[in-house]
């Protein structure tokens, strides 16, 4: 019995630079980069809110009738809600599409920040 020793050649497709830019890998990378930048900016703004609260506590105490324990209680509630939100969003991100969870989380955070400013 004679073995088939033929070599199979595969076609190599050479694409132009314009076609290379629109490859699926490039569009996925751009989407991931955009998502990273949006979530980074959202996390940075949330961090700035936390820092602003800790800096403003002495002034709030001086201007209002709140004592140190009331301000500490408000701070504890904020951090507790932050921790619970992280756990719930992690579970929701595992169950549903992560992009949707991140989008709605950022939307709720933005609405809450606007309501606090009013």
pLDDT string in tens for the chain (118-residue length): 555 555 544 544 545 555 555 566 788 888 888 888 888 887 777 777 666 777 788 888 888 888 888 888 888 888 888 889 889 888 988 999 888 888 888 788 778 777 776 6
**Cα dihedral 50→52→53→56 (10° resolution):** 170
Give the helix/strand (H/E) hosting 80.
Answer: helix 68-95
Q: Could you tell me how far CA 38 lies from the centroid of its own chain?
A: 6
The Cα-based distances of 48 to 25, 52, 76, 82, 118 in angstroms read 34, 6, 17, 14, 18
**What size, in residues, is the chain?**
118
- The C-alpha atoms of residue 75 and residue 69 are separated, in whole angstroms, by 10
């Amino acid at each position: 019995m004679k073995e088939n020793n033929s070599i199979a050649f595969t076609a190599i497709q050479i694409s132009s630079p314009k076609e290379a830019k629109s490859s699926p890998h490039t569009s996925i990378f751009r989407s991931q980069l955009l998502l990273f930048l949006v979530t980074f900016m959202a996390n940075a703004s949330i961090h700035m809110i936390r820092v602003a609260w800790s800096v403003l506590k002495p002034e709030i105490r001086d201007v209002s009738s709140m004592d140190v324990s009331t301000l500490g209680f408000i701070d504890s509630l904020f951090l507790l809600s932050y921790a619970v939100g992280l756990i719930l969003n992690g579970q929701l991100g595992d169950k549903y599409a992560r992009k949707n969870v991140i989008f709605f989380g950022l939307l709720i955070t933005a609405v809450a920040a606007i309501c606090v400013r009013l």
